[in-house]
Amino acid sequence: MVGSNTLRHRLLRLYLPLLGYGVFLLFPFAWMLIVSFKPDTEALDTSRNPFLVASVTLDHYIYLFEETDFLRWVWNTAVVTTAATALSLFCSVLIGYALGRLRFRGGNILGVAVFLAYLVPPTLLFIPLSQVISRFNLYNKYWALIFTYPTFLIPFAGWQLMGYFRTIPIELEQAALVDGATRLQAMWRIILPLALPGVLSAGIFCFTLGWNEFLYALVFMGTGDMKTVPVGAVSDLIRADVYQWGSLMAAGILGSVPVAIAYSFFVDHYISGLTAGATKG
């Protein structure tokens, strides 16, 4: 009886809520997958069951690869996102270390200011940034997005790493300094390896935001063959009031694969970076 009550309790309190939450999260991807394999006539037929596929077709995927520059869009997105993530992580590690480990006047105020910078909407920044991009002649070049994406990636990643660095015992760094290490050596050899879960968590965050960013990519690099996946899918698969739903869903499914791969490889470090410190002592 005790075992039966425990099983029932876990079923009602744990497994059923998790099942409902999983269905809620996966439903958009399941719907995109279903629509991407449906012929247009079947997808637009409201008399059919929308969750059933009577005849599977690959025409939408074939159209995406043969009639659009989808592979070029993926390459552009990968180049910009990887470079912007690397640049943002480098700056965020320095910001997080300085604000999280060093004690100086105004440090807490700077920490709050860094986070508040993340709350500034891109719709307010792209106009002055467009003047900077124009002055340096960077329109429709990779550098236009590599230099603008960190404006919203660094504030949050730096704030997140600042909190993570504070969880590492200060005694470890002090011992390294007493043994003759410089501040930079202590950070590189002692603190940074312990903060690796937090760094990976911030990196996944930066990669995800950069991969899905639309406004800056549309304004600064949205013409010709320099489009990113979000911009290319919207501009080439939506013509006036005609939506190519099958190809749009196919682009959405394929465009989310790199982010899903990144999460699958680093999910343990990502959860650790969000929920706990590196060490406690």
pLDDT, residue 5, reads 64
pTM (2 d.p.): 0.84
The tokens describing 83, both together, are: 């470079």
Q: Indicate if the pLDDT at residue 279 is higher than 50.
A: no
- Distance (Å, rounded) from C-alpha 279 to C-alpha 281? 7
Going from the C-alpha of 27 to that of each of 33, 117, 243, the distances in angstroms are 10, 33, 21
Which residue is it, tokens 């910001």? Answer: 95
Q: What is the mean pLDDT of the chain?
A: 86
Phi, psi of 239 (to 5 degrees): -115, 105
How far is residue 160's CA from residue 93's CA, in Å, rounded to a whole number? 10
d(CA 9, CA 13): 6
Residue-wise pLDDT tens digits, 141-159: 999 999 999 999 999 899 8
State the helix-helix crossing angle for 196-212 and 257-275, rounded to 10 degrees.
140
Q: pLDDT for 66-118, tens place per residue?
A: 999 999 999 999 999 999 999 999 999 999 998 888 888 877 888 888 888 88
- Alpha carbon dihedral 90, 83, 61, 216, in 10-degree steps, equals 90
The CATH architecture annotation of domain 59-275 reads Orthogonal Bundle (1.10)
Domain ranges of the chain: 1-57, 59-275
